[in-house]
Amino acid sequence: MSSWAAQAVNEIACDFQRSADTHLIRLTLPSFPDIIFYLKDESTHPSGSLKHRLAHSLFLYGLCNGWIRQDKPIIEASSGSTAVSEAYFARLLGVPFIAVVPECTARRKIEQIENHGGRCHFVSHGGLIYDEAKRLARELNGHYMDQFTYAERATDWRGNNNIAESIWRQMAREPFPQPSWVVMSAGTGGTSATLGRYISYQGHPTRLMVVDPENSVFHAFFARAIPT
C-alpha cells in the first residue's frame, strides 16, 4: 500500500472515531400502550445520507485493493443517496468525485452531492448510468466504484460497522433488548438483506418485515423464496 493510501485509510478511521453512532430513538404511542417503538435515524451521519456506512466500506475496500489513487477521480453510478456519502468521503481524501445520475434525480440529492464537493454527470434515464460511469472511469483514468457489484464484498453483514450490529448494541440495556420485529422499507434491498442475514447469523428470535408499495418487484421473489 502506498503512503498516500495508508494515510487515506487512517483519515477514514479518524473520521469514524469522531462520529458518534446514529441515534436510536425510543417512541411511545398512546394508541399502542403495550408496544415500545424504536426509530433508527441514519440521517444523522456526517454526510446526512442513509448510505454513509456503505460508502465508508466501499472507500476502505477500494483503497486496500489499490483502486483509489491520489488525485484520480472516483466515479459512481447512483440514484443519489450513495453518491452523497461518497462525495463526502472523496472530499475527505481530497480526490475528485463524479456521480453519474439520471436527469430526473431529485434536486435536493444533486445539491447534497455538490455541497460535498462532488459533480453530477447526467444521463437521460436510469438504465444508462452504469455504462456511462464505466466509460468516464476509463476516459479519466479514474476508479468506477460500482456499488451494486461491490457492496456485498465491502460490507460485513456479520457485524462490522453495519446498521444491524448498531441496533442490537444500542438495544442491549433496553427493557426488551431483543426486538420482536424489525420493519424496513425495501429500497434496493441491501439494508433489509443485511438485517436478515445478521438476525440469522446471531440466532436472534426477531422477525423482519420488509415494506414496499403494491405491485412491488420484490414481492414475487419474497413470496417464492422466503419460507413463511
| 117 and 169 belong to one structural domain | no
Contact 208, 185 (CB under 8 A): no
> Residue length, the chain?
228
CA pair distance 201, 61, nearest whole angstrom: 23
Q: Does residue 38 form part of some domain?
A: no
In order, the DSSP letters of 57-78 are HHHHHHHHTT-S-TT--EEEE-
Residues near 24 by Cβ (< 8 Å), separated by ≥ 6? 38, 39, 40, 41, 166, 167, 170, 171
Domain with 89, as residue range(s), is 52-153
Provide the 10 A C-beta neighbour count for residue 159. 14
Q: Which amino acid is at 149?
A: T
| H-helix or E-strand spanning residue 123 | strand 119-123
Residue ending a domain, among 134, 153, 172, is 153
Q: What local confidence, expressed as pLDDT, does residue 63 receive?
A: 96
Number of independent structural domains in the chain: 2
Query: 77 has which bridge partners?
Result: 100
Q: Does residue 85 form part of some domain?
A: yes
pLDDT digits 0-9 by tens, 42-57: 999 999 888 899 999 9
Q: What local confidence, expressed as pLDDT, does residue 139 receive?
A: 96
Going across the sheet that includes 74-77, the strands are 119-123, 97-102, 74-77, 143-144
What is the mean pLDDT of the segment spanning 46-71? 93
Q: What local confidence, expressed as pLDDT, does residue 215 receive?
A: 79
Q: Does residue 121 form part of some domain?
A: yes
| 92 and 65 belong to one structural domain | yes
Residue ending a domain, among 133, 153, 173, is 153
Question: Could you identify the residue written with the cell 398512546?
Answer: 30
Strands 74-77 and 143-144: parallel
Q: What local confidence, expressed as pLDDT, does residue 148 receive?
A: 87
CA pair distance 180, 33, nearest whole angstrom: 15
Q: Is the pLDDT of residue 67 over 90?
A: yes
Contact 60, 75 (CB under 8 A): no
Q: What local confidence, expressed as pLDDT, does residue 153 receive?
A: 86
What is the mean pLDDT of the segment spanning 79-98? 94
Portion of the chain with pLDDT greater than 70, in percent: 97
Q: What local confidence, expressed as pLDDT, does residue 226 receive?
A: 63
User: 227 falls in which pLDDT band (50, 70, 90)?
Assistant: low
Provide the 10 A C-beta neighbour count for residue 104. 10
In order, the DSSP letters of 138-149 are HHHT-EE--HHH
Q: Does residue 163 form part of some domain?
A: yes
Q: What local confidence, expressed as pLDDT, does residue 179 receive?
A: 95
Q: Is the pLDDT of residue 115 over 60?
A: yes
Mean pLDDT (the chain) is 90
CA pair distance 169, 132, nearest whole angstrom: 40
Q: Does residue 7 form part of some domain?
A: no
Q: Does residue 32 form part of some domain?
A: no
